[in-house]
Structure 1
Amino acid sequence: MVTKRKIELLAPGGDVDSIKAAILAGANAVYCGLDQFNARNRAVNISFNHLQGILHLAHAHNCEVFLTLNIIVIEREIPALISLLNKLVNTSIDGVIVQDLGMLYLLQKYFKSLNVHASTQLTTHNQGQIKFLSKLSATRVNLSRELNIHEIKHLTAVGHENNVLTEVFVHGSNCISFSGICYMSSVLTGNSGNRGRCSQPCRDQYITSATGKEYPLNLKDNSAFFNVKELYDAGVDSLKIEGRIKKFDYVYTVVDVWRKQLDTLYNQNIVGTDNSLLYKVFNRDFSNTLLTGEISKSMFIDNPRDHSIKHLSEINSYASADKLESGQLQLYQEKEEIKAIVEQKIKSVNAEKVAMQIYLSGASGTPLKVAVKTTEASFDMFSECKLVDKGTEALSEAMVLKRFKAFNDTEYFIEELNLNGIVGDVYISFKELTSLKKKILFLLNGSKETIDPIRLPAIKKIEEERRKPSLSVLISSQEDVLLTQKTNADIYFCLPNSFKSRYSELLELFMQNKSLIPYFPSVIIGEDYAVALDFLQQLKPKTIVTNNTGIAWEAYRLGIKWIAGPQVNIVNSYSLLSLKEKMNCSGAFISNELSLQQIKALITPSDFALHYSIYHPIVLMTSRQCLFHQVTGCEKKKVDATCIATCEKSASITNLKNNSFQIEKSKGNYHAVYNENNFLNTAVCSDLPTFFSAFMIDLREVKTETKRLVSKLEIVSLFENLLDRKTGAEIKVKTAIYPTTNTQYEKGI
């Protein structure tokens, strides 16, 4: 052996067959979802009963199983979530993958035995976020797919210093947006990506762009197949394959190829050069340029469908149409052969729960003997008290089955319950039967004590004095800072994703305008994060708003009052508790994905402010890629150091359903895609007049179809009148700002 450390190969499992395929192909771990609470709603997924059989099969093959609970959870789902977690703690599940901060809170407080992995939906891309998640008891983080190898290496070292493992996606579909902050599907269809219902509108066909592209947001698949040594040297703990919607033949083929690649590295310290099999299953061609840091137009492909046939044509350069057709038929045949071979393999293994036979014997005056037998083991258990000939209820099959039904919630099921060994009518206390049940469960669960179900205490509703909500205004230009002198509203100044080139200028701006409140974006990577921390330490603001949990961590550490921004995705009361109790957060924006009824269900902690954005351009996605490569063209073939700092462009795209979107790149920011119309929700002011502490309006200069017919100062005045409930104020706001939408508030998630 050349190398000692082994790196985990983590495979997807959308159904039982694909999980079997992953195990047989050599995965060290699989991740799969149940039919609720997981971010691949379109996958078949599995039942809880199936899960127990899968656990038994996987562990027999030294393969771990992680369960995806990686969606945001609305209030009415909390009881069902607790019911599920009460079952999971008594399984042999190896970890749960989580996005929701409220779920992290519940796991940390009530279900400490479960290993918690932070989902890619948490957009982890800086060291503060790792520390933030570590404090919430995450033992592993799935790093953002947009990171390069140097950023991954740095964050892995930070993770290890904080007892957190790192996991990196190395193969499969690529999202064009940073995960967790894509709202495109949610806004267009009500199918939220944060709820596992993404309809993938980014892969839709669009009206042909100026560069001749019909699928301008469609990326090639990710494959770091030839970068396995760099990932190993970076200290990464797990290599993750995407594909819970893919079928068993895809999963087997990809895992098998990656397994052999890793074994080649371990045994020969070399990286294999043959990835041809990866092209014979579904792919959109491959790119590794995010990992190498060479973000370029080569990442895009103008076709979202399977690329395998086209790739075959490209590498063979067929001389005639007949030879092309023959080659294609051969590939189809090979695909079918692969499918048949894998199908035979997965039929050879059983992912069902293990049958168990229970034999009871004894007579009055003797202990009750319970003999348990499975295909793998057998053992006898005796009651501490002797059987007696009088009591409340004679020992019967129905009585025993009622007490022993918990065995069916394990990796085993009662196939036979035999009382032929019981002599006459005998009695035993329910307490003694319960004791026997616990002892047997202890052995069935691998010598692990059964954990009693928790009953979640109700959150105490604090009746506090409710006052009229205040107004806050978000700006991003220095000219608009004058608003601080002309209104009593709180003015938030939105900082760019990268402002190192403007550091001194922005620091001076805040120093000279002490009432200005820093507003941090959701994505701050690498050196930009270091600059943002220095800015925070130099400025020492009284209050900040942040959409980035890494900045939140620093505010918590420095004792700065902080408010969680709209893109932290807060949708339940336990997320609010988590922020307040664990991170000393003073307030939070409630997600704009929620409907009125979903918002009303929230319970606010004491001394905690609820915020809500009632007017803003709707950012559908944020991307590290250059979107103009596909839309209007760009003279640069790849993104370089000056692009983020200096590029300033805009364009629009329209899909075949006539939905238009604005692409904007402003100085210091990543590319963003905005909805055609801005969000405006005046109804919430009358629906929930005292529920929120503050309402925010976003007056940044983002070009959309929404028009403002009056000055920004007049807009502020109109909204102040709205909050004061002045007659006609709502009509005046809607007249001054149009067209707009509030479908998210109407539909919810």
Structure 2
Amino acid sequence: MVTKRKIELLAPGGDVDSIKAAILAGANAVYCGLDQFNARNRAVNISFEELQGILHLAHSRNCEVFLTLNIIIIEREIPALIGLLNKLVNTSIDGVIVQDLGMLYLLRKYFKSLTIHASTQLTTHNEGQIKFLSKLSANRVNLSRELNIHEIKHLTSAAHENNVLTEVFVHGSNCISFSGLCYFSSVLSGNSGNRGRCSQPCRDQYKTTAAGKEYPLNLKDNSAFFDLKELYDAGVDSLKIEGRIKKYDYVYTVVDVWRKQLDTFYSQSKVGTDDSLLYKVFNRAFSNTLLKGEISKSMFIDNPRDHSIKHLSEINLYASADEVEAGQLKLYQEKEEIKAMVEGKINQVSAKKAPLQIHLSGECGSPLKVSVKTPDAGFDIFSECNLFDKGTEVLTEAMILKRFKAFNDTEYFIEELNLEGIKAAVYISFKELTSLKKKILFILNGSKETIAPVTLPTIKNREKEMHKPRLSVLISSEKEVFLTDKTKADIYFQLPNSFKDKCSHYAELFAKNKSLIPYFPSVIIGEDYTAAVEFLKQLKPKLIVTNNTGIAYKAYQLGIDWIAGPQINIVNSYSLLSLKEDFNCSGAFISNELTKNQIQAVKAPADFKLHYSIYHPIVLMTSRQCLFHQVTACEKNRVDDTCIQQCEKSSSITNLKNDSFLIEKSKGNYHTIYNQNNFLNTDILNDLPYVFSSFMIDLRDVKTESKLLVSKSEVIQLFENLLNGKADSETKVKKVIQSTTNQQYKKGI
């Protein structure tokens, strides 16, 4: 019989008990976060000391531990991050999960012993992005949840060709937005999802829509329980369970069910059919339609709360309220029994650091013997020099504790220090004690040398750009290409998410209008990515702007000058260094989530231009789902290719605070939700003079509540006057553009 390859089962751990539950239930690996730098601030999370104990427990049971560092890192946090990484390199951590490009750069350059996993927040959905991340030394990528099994298989093959592993979410909450591209929480409350503070406005109640829904953005939970064979055949390396804010009973139950499913598949080559236990812990009902490539209205559920009792009612066909109540009581009892069972199991194991017993013995004229005993083993270390009867400081317990305190920073702690074997006052050099400490640490750290702390070289401030910044203008309608003849501003033309059927058309458009600059969106999947690459090869433009790192990688390969767009969300100097040094990028937009002080701290490399979007409709999220199913009751039950290419409509939803949000679907694009008011930030011109090489205004026809009272040509002229310092130009700009906000600039992240 052919032995099946084993797929990793990767489980969440939001606190120590949940991590223990995952390990006991049979997870091959757990992912968890510290109380800083991770994307689940609402989880309890763990301390660094608790991490050391968890590592000891997990590794004793053949379970790996991955640490989530999956947020964007602002400049002032870099010293604390380096301090943490200096500690992590001397642990047995099995990998770090990362979103920020600057952190990827730092890990690759200074912390090469740490294995890098690319977070779901990096929205990996095309092979160019995999190559981009591979160049940054990522060992593994989490593929976007929106992908179907054929897309997953293709990308897994591409990943393996580049020595990269793939992981796929198979259970838990679904995000309605492409991960990493959601600014809903950031704009509404200042709680950025890219900082682990998402307040989940997509789960909120809204005023009843025309389709009769109160929770129009609420998706069912993801479950690929019955799709194990397809994932196995696709070559996926890791199956990831979502849920770092879930409790230990949930984690144990889900991991245990999946563990048994995997074991059945390995031993019997079949997939089990009983998922009933998954309905006995929190769920919003389940859907696998993304994986199946059947994006439909069945993915939604008009209730964000636990679906367990409703599911029980449906399968048991309860006929009366009494039957429902009895069933509900039975379910609650079963939940309590599960909780008690798991609690009993986790209380029997310790995730605390392991104790060390250290005994010292020796006499004058002989080597010092240090006997170290752990719960699992023991070993002896001898000094290279003999003990003396005179010296600087007599050997005492306090002296040894001072020199050996580094042992307490490992998976162990000094429980007992015994000097009874030292028969008289003896002396030993500090150098010799340091040598003994290093030898013991080497053994305690799994035969790894202690890595010295890294000190980053100072990034010098470059000379300020004393010339006036340029204006750039973003359009998306071919009817507005004439603007290239009306202004000296750079004109960017936004390409759609999908133009595989119009590749030649767009190539011809740009060939006829040489000054028009291609502007690529953040999401380009499958055949659309192939078409975009072909477009670049055909056109060979002098310059592009891209919000997609897969396109960035191809531009770098083809020697095309490129600018990193605002959706790449650059927030620190090391991200800029990475873009320039690794991908020959010539400039980048700085994130619109930052304040004046946060932007001011960012230092650009030499010969690298900084850009900023000064006026634009605010994208709250981009979604592969049809958002009209729950809002206007779209006549189609599922999304097909003609929907993406041909559908053009808009609507709105309003929350219970009377905030309205525009939902727009334009031809060739995915569904987008926009804030009701556009972003306008003229303050930055006075706050940060001579920082930016150019400022962009987005004049696409997105019908938010912000209004232009004059023509686009006149708006462009007003902004040119503003950048040239013409008197009263700021007042005039604000007068002709009504209903705007710059709250993100004021709040920051």
TM-score in terms of structure 2 length: 0.99
Amino acid at match of 2:399: M
Tell me if structure 2 keeps the 8 A contact 1:468–1:689.
Answer: no
* Structure 1 residue 137 corresponds to structure 2 residue 130: no
Alignment deviations for residues 68-108 of structure 1 (CA, whole Å, 9 cap, x no partner): 00000000000110010011111111100000000000000
Identity %: 80
**Structure 1 residue matching 2:501: 3-state secondary structure:** helix
Report what 2:386 is aligned to: 386
Tell me if structure 2 keeps the 8 A contact 1:282–1:308.
Answer: yes
Report what 2:201 is aligned to: 201
Alignment deviations for residues 477-513 of structure 1 (CA, whole Å, 9 cap, x no partner): 1121111111111100000000122222211110000
Tell me if structure 2 keeps the 8 A contact 1:153–1:236.
Answer: yes
Report what 1:425 is aligned to: 425
Report what 2:276 is aligned to: 276
Amino acid at match of 1:103: M
Report what 2:114 is aligned to: 114
**Partners of 2:186 and 2:258 in 1: how far apart?**
34
**Structure 1 residue matching 2:270: 3-state secondary structure:** coil
Tell me if structure 2 keeps the 8 A contact 1:369–1:381.
Answer: yes
Amino acid at match of 1:282: F
Report what 2:128 is aligned to: 128
**Structure 2 residue matching 1:577: 3-state secondary structure:** helix
**Partners of 1:400 and 1:248 in 2: how far apart?**
40
Tell me if structure 2 keeps the 8 A contact 1:370–1:381.
Answer: yes
* Structure 1 residue 449 corresponds to structure 2 residue 449: yes
**Partners of 2:674 and 2:321 in 1: how far apart?**
44
**Partners of 2:187 and 2:395 in 1: how far apart?**
60
Give the 5 Å matches for 1:366-381. Answer: 366-381=366-381
Give the 5 Å matches for 1:604-683. Answer: 604-683=604-683
Amino acid at match of 1:57: L
Gaps of 5+ in 1: none
Shift of 1:2: 5.4
**Partners of 1:615 and 1:392 in 2: how far apart?**
69
Shift of 1:658: 1.2
Alignment deviations for residues 204-235 of structure 1 (CA, whole Å, 9 cap, x no partner): 00000001000000000000000000000000
**Partners of 1:138 and 1:501 in 2: how far apart?**
33
Alignment deviations for residues 401-439 of structure 1 (CA, whole Å, 9 cap, x no partner): 121111011110011122222233322111111111010
Shift of 1:556: 0.4
Give the 5 Å matches for 1:292-311. Answer: 292-311=292-311
- Say which is worse superposed, 721-730 or 618-627, in terms of deviation: 721-730
Report what 2:435 is aligned to: 435
**Partners of 1:74 and 1:430 in 2: how far apart?**
41
Tell me if structure 1 keeps the 8 A contact 2:588–2:611.
Answer: yes
- Say which is worse superposed, 389-398 or 677-686, in terms of deviation: 389-398
Amino acid at match of 1:265: F
**Partners of 2:52 and 2:709 in 1: how far apart?**
61
Shift of 1:463: 2.2
- Say which is worse superposed, 643-652 or 390-399, in terms of deviation: 390-399
**Structure 2 residue matching 1:305: 3-state secondary structure:** coil
Report what 1:703 is aligned to: 703
* Structure 1 residue 517 corresponds to structure 2 residue 517: yes
Report what 1:471 is aligned to: 471
Shift of 1:715: 0.6
- Say which is worse superposed, 180-189 or 493-502, in terms of deviation: 493-502
Shift of 1:3: 4.1
Tell me if structure 1 keeps the 8 A contact 2:465–2:691.
Answer: no
* Structure 1 residue 548 corresponds to structure 2 residue 571: no
Shift of 1:465: 4.4
Tell me if structure 1 keeps the 8 A contact 2:616–2:680.
Answer: yes
Shift of 1:392: 2.1
Tell me if structure 2 keeps the 8 A contact 1:2–1:267.
Answer: no
Report what 1:344 is aligned to: 344
Give the 5 Å matches for 1:487-526. Answer: 487-526=487-526
**Structure 2 residue matching 1:575: 3-state secondary structure:** helix
**Partners of 1:462 and 1:726 in 2: how far apart?**
27
Report what 2:334 is aligned to: 334
**Partners of 1:464 and 1:218 in 2: how far apart?**
47
**Structure 1 residue matching 2:630: 3-state secondary structure:** helix
Amino acid at match of 1:230: E
**Structure 2 residue matching 1:448: 3-state secondary structure:** coil
Alignment deviations for residues 618-652 of structure 1 (CA, whole Å, 9 cap, x no partner): 00000000000000011110001100000000000
**Structure 1 residue matching 2:39: 3-state secondary structure:** coil
**Structure 2 residue matching 1:501: 3-state secondary structure:** coil
* Structure 1 residue 690 corresponds to structure 2 residue 690: yes
Report what 1:535 is aligned to: 535
**Structure 2 residue matching 1:628: 3-state secondary structure:** coil
**Partners of 1:576 and 1:348 in 2: how far apart?**
49
Report what 1:163 is aligned to: 163
Report what 1:485 is aligned to: 485
Shift of 1:464: 5.0
Report what 1:397 is aligned to: 397
Number of residues paired by the alignment?
A: 749
Amino acid at match of 2:352: E
Report what 1:18 is aligned to: 18
Tell me if structure 2 keeps the 8 A contact 1:75–1:601.
Answer: yes
Shift of 1:387: 1.5
Give the 5 Å matches for 1:42-53. Answer: 42-53=42-53
**Partners of 1:690 and 1:83 in 2: how far apart?**
33
**Partners of 2:461 and 2:401 in 1: how far apart?**
42
Shift of 1:468: 1.5
Tell me if structure 2 keeps the 8 A contact 1:3–1:269.
Answer: no
Amino acid at match of 1:475: I
Shift of 1:696: 0.4
**Partners of 2:42 and 2:133 in 1: how far apart?**
28
**Partners of 2:740 and 2:465 in 1: how far apart?**
33
Gaps of 5+ in 2: none
**Partners of 1:679 and 1:506 in 2: how far apart?**
29
* Structure 1 residue 744 corresponds to structure 2 residue 732: no
Tell me if structure 1 keeps the 8 A contact 2:367–2:387.
Answer: yes
**Partners of 1:270 and 1:600 in 2: how far apart?**
58
Q: Which runs of 4+ in 1 moved over 6 A?
A: none
- RMSD (CA atoms): 0.9
**Partners of 2:386 and 2:328 in 1: how far apart?**
75
Amino acid at match of 2:722: L
**Partners of 1:467 and 1:409 in 2: how far apart?**
52
Shift of 1:398: 2.0
Alignment deviations for residues 276-314 of structure 1 (CA, whole Å, 9 cap, x no partner): 100010000000000000000000000000000110011
Tell me if structure 1 keeps the 8 A contact 2:504–2:535.
Answer: no
**Partners of 2:733 and 2:465 in 1: how far apart?**
28
Shift of 1:470: 0.8
Tell me if structure 2 keeps the 8 A contact 1:354–1:374.
Answer: yes
**Partners of 2:415 and 2:344 in 1: how far apart?**
27
Amino acid at match of 2:56: H
**Partners of 2:441 and 2:500 in 1: how far apart?**
59
Amino acid at match of 1:529: Y
- Say which is worse superposed, 394-403 or 275-284, in terms of deviation: 394-403
- Say which is worse superposed, 385-394 or 563-572, in terms of deviation: 385-394
Tell me if structure 2 keeps the 8 A contact 1:383–1:436.
Answer: yes
* Structure 1 residue 230 corresponds to structure 2 residue 230: yes
Give the 5 Å matches for 1:69-80. Answer: 69-80=69-80
Shift of 1:389: 2.3
**Partners of 1:628 and 1:137 in 2: how far apart?**
40
**Structure 2 residue matching 1:141: 3-state secondary structure:** strand
**Partners of 1:229 and 1:505 in 2: how far apart?**
41
**Partners of 1:254 and 1:594 in 2: how far apart?**
38
**Partners of 2:491 and 2:282 in 1: how far apart?**
50
**Partners of 2:12 and 2:729 in 1: how far apart?**
53
Tell me if structure 2 keeps the 8 A contact 1:719–1:733.
Answer: yes
**Partners of 1:405 and 1:107 in 2: how far apart?**
27
Report what 2:267 is aligned to: 267
**Structure 2 residue matching 1:255: 3-state secondary structure:** helix
Shift of 1:391: 2.1
